[in-house]
Structure 1
Amino acid sequence: MVNSSNSDLKMKFFGFGLVQNRDPRVHENRITDERDLFKVWHLGIPDIADSSQWVLNITGLVEHPMRFSLADLQALPQTTVTAFHECAGSPLNPKVPQRRIGNVVWTGVKLADVLQKVNITSEAVYVISRGIDEGVYNNVHYSGYEKDLPLDKALDPNVLIALAINNEPITVERGGPVRLVVPGYYGTNSTKWLTDLIVSKARSSSAFTTKYYMDREMVDGELKESPVWGIHPNSIVVHPQNGQTIKPEECMIWGWAWAEAAVAEVEVSIDGGETWQKANVETRSNMEWQRFNFRWKPKSVGEFCIMTRATDTKGMNQPFTPRRNQVSRVMIFVEQCSDL
Structure 2
Amino acid sequence: MKFSGYGLVQNRDPLVHENRITNERDLFKVWHLGIPDIVDSSQWVLNLTGLVEHPLQFKLSDLQSLPQTSVTAIHECAGSPLNPKVPQRRIGNVVWGGVKLSDLLKEVNILSDAAYVISRGIDEGVYNNVYYSNYEKDLPLDKALDPNVLIALTINDEPITVERGGPIRLVVPGYYGTNSTKWLTDLIISNVRSSSAFTTKYYMDREMVDGELKETPVWGIQPNSIIVHPQNGQTVKLEEITIWGWAWAESAIDVVEVSVDGGETWQQTNVEPRSNMEWQRFNYTWMPKSVGEYCIMSRAKNIEGFNQPITLKRNQVTRVMIFVEQCSDL
1:40 paired with 2:30, answer: yes
- Are 1:272 and 2:262 counterparts? yes
The Cα of 1:13 is off from its aligned counterpart by 4.9
Question: Which amino acid letter does the alignment assign opposite residue 331 of structure 1?
Answer: M
Name the residue aligned to 1:245: 235
Q: How far apart are the structure 2 equivalents of 1:51 and 1:273?
A: 52
Say if 1:13 and 1:134, in contact at 8 Å, map to a contact too: no
Matches of 1:217 and 1:122 in 2, distance apart?
33
**Structure 2 stretches of 5 or more lacking a match?**
none
Match of 1:310 in 2: 300
Query: 1:146 & 1:25 partners in 2: Cα distance?
Result: 30
TM-score, with length taken from structure 2? 0.98
In structure 2, what is the Cα distance between the partners aligned to 1:27 and 1:214? Answer: 32
Decide whether aligned partners of structure 1 residues 140 and 240 sit closer, same or farther in structure 2, where only a CA change above 3 A counts: same
- Give the deviation of 1:47 after TM superposition: 1.8
Equivalences for residues 287-298 of structure 1 within 5 A: 287-298=277-288
* Pairs within 5 Å for 1:1-340: 12-23=2-13, 26-339=16-329
**Distance apart, 1:155 and its partner CA:** 0.2
Q: Residue 14 of structure 1: CA displacement?
A: 3.4
Counterpart AA for 1:56: L
* Partner SS, residue 173 of structure 1: helix
Name the aligned partner's letter for residue 105 of structure 2. Answer: L
Q: String of CA shifts for 1:133-180, please: whole Å, max 9, x gaps.
A: 000000000000000000000000000000000000000000000000
* RMSD of Structure 2 on Structure 1 (CA): 1.1
Measured after TM superposition, the shift of residue 24 of structure 1 is 5.8
In the TM superposition, what whole-angstrom CA distance separates every residue of 1:100-134 from its partner, at most 9, and x where no partner exists? 00000000000000000011010110000000000
**CA deviation profile, 1:23-75 (whole Å, cap 9, x unmatched):** 36654210000000000000010121110000000000000000000000000
Report the residue type matching 1:67 in the other structure: Q
CA distance in 1: counterparts of 2:133 and 2:223, whole angstroms: 34
Distance 1:191 1:282 in 2: 31
For residue 293 of structure 2, what is the amino acid of its counterpart? Answer: E
- Residue 319 of structure 2 aligns with an amino acid whose one-letter code is R
TM-score (norm 1): 0.95
Amino acid at match of 1:215: D
Does the aligned pair in 2 maintain the 1:233–1:259 contact within 8 Å?
A: yes
Aligned pair count reads 330
Task: Please tell me whether the aligned partners of residues 88 and 187 of structure 1 are also in contact (alpha carbons under 8 angstroms).
Answer: yes
List 4+ stretches of structure 1 deviating above 3 A. Answer: 11-15, 21-27
Q: Secondary structure at the match of 1:73?
A: helix
Match of 1:6 in 2: none
Unaligned runs of 5+ in 1: 1-10
